[in-house]
Amino acid sequence: MKRIPQMETSELRRRLHNGEQVYMIDVREDEEVAAGMINGAKHIPMGEIPARLDEIPRNEEVVIICRSGGRSQHVCEFLNHQGIHNVINLKGGMLQWHEEE
């Protein structure tokens, strides 16, 4: 199985701060994202990913985000099995993101 690329939250923060357009999908549940998301991220709950594959771009990298990096890792692995290989897991997820604020 292909190893899933990992992105540190500091790297994502730097890229966004520099004005890069980064495609991000937050796979947390509705009640989790109600507490806040990374600005610009698209919300697709993990359970809806299989039915919404057509919303995931194939021609640019896609950073997958969850609370701690576990669910997003599983989503990345699932997407790889579906032939979508341009996904990157946000290591540490939103917990790490908020720690660095």
With contact defined as beta carbons under 8 Å apart, do 22 and 40 qualify?
yes
| Nearest residue to 53 via CA among 22, 86, 5, 28 | 86
Q: Which two tokens stand for residue 47?
A: 């359970």
Which residue is catalytic, options 63, 66, 87, 90? Answer: 66
With contact defined as beta carbons under 8 Å apart, do 67 and 94 qualify?
yes
With contact defined as beta carbons under 8 Å apart, do 69 and 89 qualify?
yes
Examine the residue annotation and report whether 76 is marked as an active-site residue of this protein: no
Strand boundaries in the chain, DSSP class E: 6-8, 23-26, 42-43, 62-65, 87-91
What residues act catalytically?
Answer: 66
